[in-house]
Amino acid sequence: MVALATCMSVRLLAEEQKYEPNWESLRKHTPVPEWFRDAKFGIYFHWGVYSVPAYGNEWYPRHMHDKGKERAGHYYKHHKETYGEPDEYGYDRFVDDFKAEHFNADEWCDLFEKAGARFVGPVAEHHDGFAMWGSKATPWNSVDRGPKRDIMGEIADAARERDMKVVATFHHARNNLWEQPQKDGSLKWTGHYSHVKEHFPTALDDSERAFLYGYMPREQFLDLWLAKLEEVIDQYDPDLIWFDSWLHEIPDETKMKFLAHYFNHAEQTGQDVLVTYKQEDLPQDVAVLDLEKGGMAERTDFTWLTDDTISLGSWCYTDNLKVKPTHVVLHSLIDIVSKNGQLLLNISPKADGSIPENQRQVLLELGEWLDEYGEAIYNTRPFETFGHGPTKAGKGHFGGIALDKPYTAEDVRYTRNGKTVYAIQLGWPGSGEKTLLKGFAVTDDQPMTEVTSVEMLGSDDKVSWEQDSKGLSVTSPSNAASVGAPPVRTHFEPTIESLQHYQCPEWFQDAKFGIYLHWGAYSVAERGEWYARKLYIPGTPEYEHHLATYGHPSEFGYADFIPAWKAERFDPDALLALFKQAGAKYFTPCAVHHDNFDLWDSKYHRWNSVEMGPQKDLIGMWREATLKAGLRFGVTTHLSRSYSWLATANQSDESGPMKGVPYDGAQGKASGLYPSNDGQEPHQRAPLNAPQEWRSNWAKRINQLVTDYDPDLLYFDCSVPFRGEDRGQTGLEVISHFYNSRPQGVMCIKKRPWQGLYADGIATVDYERGLAEHLMAEPWQTDDSIGSWGYHAEKPYAEPDLVIDKLVDIVSKNGNLLLNIPIKADGTLDEEAADLLLRVGKWLDINGEAIYGTRPWHVYGDGHRSIPAYSLKSPMTAKDVRYTQKHGVLYATVLAWPNKDQILELPFVVSTFNDIGRVREVSLLGSETSPEWEAHPDGLRVTMPSKRPCEFAYVLKIEFEVTPE
């Protein structure tokens, strides 16, 4: 009788609390269920038809149609060259290739469970319009087409069997291709497939394809948007529905209908559900705020979510996808939880349904840490303070802070569960080291928190501690090296798989501009750095010059220049002071060129600058001066070519009066400088198969350079050397030695498979005199020169405006510029080179905030895609603009001063582009007079003041009411 009455009362209560589609009613719903606050960590995945091309990112279906915008032109070019024109080979053609033949929901959810996730689910539908469930609302779904499987259903069933909550993420608000009213009353085609309407309108003649592309009246689309959500709710009972941006374009009336349906359904199923939103797309007392690739700078009183991806680039799988090391993901999770947040981590499966091994490894290592220390994460709540430490993260993608900064043992984060407080160090301080936990310090707002005991999770050792008003001082035990730092791979092995855990460090990404130089015995001849090779090649200008100036190579060879190289006026401190004044943040002299002469105190090669020539440890002197100047120090090495490159010394003239007379190398002179005469082809490329003895000596010399001179940057003038029978193993061993010696080191290699082994992700790519035509996903470097690489008395120098424009262009595309300065044999620069550096430095003094510490924006700029590699003067005009961003500020660098009364138009700086917000202020760096500007619907329009603030490129500083992503 009592049970029956109880049951009846519950039903009546549920009916009374039924939600109506209005904000007053919907606010009765509890927006944050306790299970969500306890769970902390979830996993979802971008996986769909867009995974098939495996190119660029998950926006491929949009960008493949964009042949008019420079930002995404490479997508269209790739699609056209690989598949054909988009109106002939549309995105719909990829659907049949999305087979998911290796997809196994149980195996996936086993992995997610081992990773420590408590809520999981798919991207139910992305912007592309393809539904990952058996939909009746759209024919474009995974049951009727493509894999012909219910992805949403299979994942939901497998997750619930493992007591994990189910997530469904929706990105489909952007799918509608429609004419959107603008503020000025005009109509503009918008939506994920807007470029189809602009460039390939006939592709919409196919009614089924047009439906996929969202080409329909607005009211029809809004009904479809809602119907898809209701299908997933009614069929799969998701515990969490997550929305991407563009939800603000959905009318409140439609959103409220969705929320009422979802909340009422949850009442019927007995679920505690939640909805997430971005920016200000839903009321905070109805749903949970989500920050894409971001976090909070401080602890918050409200619960929030971060969605981030395991990769460093695309959210979906691509052929060159690079993943974050485990410690980066883990430290992000810890920081988020300490500030009252949760993490939803994206992974990127392949189109066939397999999860790449490097992503699996990160998930398993993350799970290992959570198995050991999860009590400090799950079911916790924030402490009085989130933490402390020196690491300050930058601005995130959609507000908040970025979560990709490296943390240290000095960074501490706190959580609590009841009366237990957890202090998590984000690095191991070392055995017996003291750490002051300032979270326990006495303040005006926080009295003494009495600590009764302290223990180290994962360690049986007794912890020594003492407490006073400054905080809790804890001494780390001897055997808990994994506490605070995750049990992840910290040692690099000489394999491609291991080296692909390399991450380009923040210091390099912040530096942007470095200087290096080519200096050696070849500088004596003043004919460039290839003189050592070409003096032995009849018919070249170098051979003719040598014959006329020094004599025949059989009598006076390259080795004879070494005694003449004195470096008698070399003043490294003065040169580094100049380089610093020029604005360089790192300096990397050439330690050994193709001429096989070491510029350091070499233990494994007698042909070096200490034993011969200058009789100085030049690299040691450079390093001391560089560190004294406060710059990062690196070295470039060009040695791997020498075995074949310098073999020209082992030849003789094939005609003429000296025919058959062996050059000095062939006579056996300078043994060890010239490579042994093994009959190798004297080509200019890196040797395919150098002898084992040569490879071993190469490795010893480079390893000694790393060990003794501790460079922050190591550069190979090739890919990984010796790609033949060695298969690059010798080079991989040297790179792993460098990474293990310098955890914050930068390894630069060339993307030249014909000059060695190359694999994506093992190092930072360097492009010699190369400029990217589009924004690059990973940090990269261009090494370029103001003239010849080695000093050449007859080669002119570039104009300073060209150097500045190249720097700006490179930085806008996520790169660094390493600029070579030719130096004379005596160790001095000529006046023209010094003046160029001072003019570059003067520009950076005024405009450096648009360069240093910046990151690329969504687009690199307007105008010409790149600058010709071998020009001396910049061809750029006032229509050429490049963008960078930092701390919520956008910088637009105009590469030439506009004509009088010319209005600059910045079409990407418009509030409808990626929700950047309204422009609040525009200023001109270095100018006391602000430019006139107008935030026009077609972009920002700017009129410059009458006076130029500097000699070259001009930087507009643009500030917003809402931070640009």
pLDDT tens for 284-306 read: 999 999 999 888 989 999 999 99
Among residues 741, 826, 240, 242, the alpha carbon closest in space to that of 570 is found at 826
Helix (H) or strand (E) holding 644: helix 642-645
* Res 498 pLDDT > 60: yes
Single out the residue of 960, 937, 867, 944 nearest to residue 903, CA to CA: 944
The residues that bridge with 346 in the sheet, in sequence order, are 44, 309
Taking residue 841's Cβ as centre, other Cβ atoms within 10 Å add up to 18
Higher pLDDT pick, 366 / 488: 366
Contact 279, 33 (CB under 8 A): no
List pLDDT tens digits, range 666-692.
999 999 999 998 888 888 887 888 899
- The amino acid present at 884, given as its one-letter code, is T
What distance in Å separates the CA atoms of residue 36 and residue 799, rounded to the nearest whole number?
A: 60
Choice between 813 and 67, residue whose per-residue pLDDT is larger: 813
State yes or no: pLDDT of 1 exceeds 70.
Answer: no
Q: Is the pLDDT of residue 109 over 60?
A: yes
At 745 the pLDDT is 94
pLDDT for residue 16: 47
Rounded to an integer, what distance in angstroms lies between the CA atom of residue 874 and that of residue 882? 14
What's the Rg (C-alpha) of the chain?
Answer: 31
Distance set, CA 243 to CA 124, 251, 276, 277 (Å):
10, 15, 6, 5
**How would DSSP label each residue in 906-953?**
ETT-STTSTT---EEEEEETT-SSPPEEEEETTEEEEE--SS-SSSS-
Alpha carbon distance 735, 726 (integer Å):
15
Burial category of 164 from C-beta neighbours within 10 Å (exposed 0-12, middle 13-18, buried 19 and up): buried
- DSSP letter for 323, please: B
Cα separations in angstroms, 735 against 358, 381, 699 = 19, 43, 10
Give the Cα separation of 313 and 324 in Å (integer). 10
Strands 632-637 and 713-716: parallel
pLDDT value at 702 more than 70: yes
* Collapsed DSSP state (helix, strand, coil) of residue 131: strand
pTM of the model: 0.64
What mean pLDDT comes out for the span 651-664?
Answer: 96
Structure tokens at 437: 């936990």
Q: Strand 464-468 and strand 471-475: pairing?
A: antiparallel
Identify the pLDDT of residue 518: 98
pLDDT on residue 476:
83
* Beta-strand pair 119-125/954-960: unpaired
**Could you tell me the pLDDT band of residue 914, with boundaries at 50, 70 and 90?**
low
Q: Stretch 250-279: mean pLDDT, rounded?
A: 97
Contacts of 97 (CB under 8 A, 6+ apart): 52, 351
Confidence category of residue 551, pLDDT binned at 50, 70, 90: very high
Whether residue 602 is predicted with pLDDT greater than 60 in this model: the reply is yes
Tokens, residue 201: 């309108």
Q: Of 15-29, 147-161, 422-436, where does the model show the most confidence?
A: 147-161
Closest CA to 552 of 412, 664, 422, 419: 664
Token pair for residue 132?
A: 């990952």
Kindly tell me the sign of the dihedral angle through the C-alpha atoms of 754, 759, 764, 770. Answer: positive
Q: Is the pLDDT of residue 500 over 60?
A: yes
Measured between alpha carbons, how far is 699 from 110 in angstroms, rounded to an integer? 44
pLDDT surpassing 60 at residue 929: yes
Give dist(CA 158, CA 437) in Å, integer: 42
pLDDT of residue 868: 78
Q: What is the pLDDT of residue 962?
A: 54
| Residue 777 or residue 217, greater confidence | 217
When pLDDT is cut at 50, 70 and 90, the band that residue 459 belongs to is confident
C-alpha closest to that of 824 among 520, 390, 372: 520
If we measure between CA atoms, which residue out of 387, 460, 470, 386 comes closest to residue 434?
470
Instruction: Enter the tokens of residue 241.
Output: 């529905």
Instruction: Specify the 3-state DSSP secondary structure of 247.
Output: helix
Could you please report the per-residue DSSP string of 209-229?
HHHHTTBS-HHHHHHHHHHHH
What percent of the chain has a predicted confidence (pLDDT) above 70? 94
Taking Cα atoms as reference points, which of 509, 512, 511, 530 lies closest to residue 521?
A: 530
Task: Judge whether residue 13 has pLDDT over 50.
Answer: no
Helix spans in 796-909 (H):
800-812, 831-847
pLDDT at position 457 = 86
The overall average pLDDT reported for the chain is 91
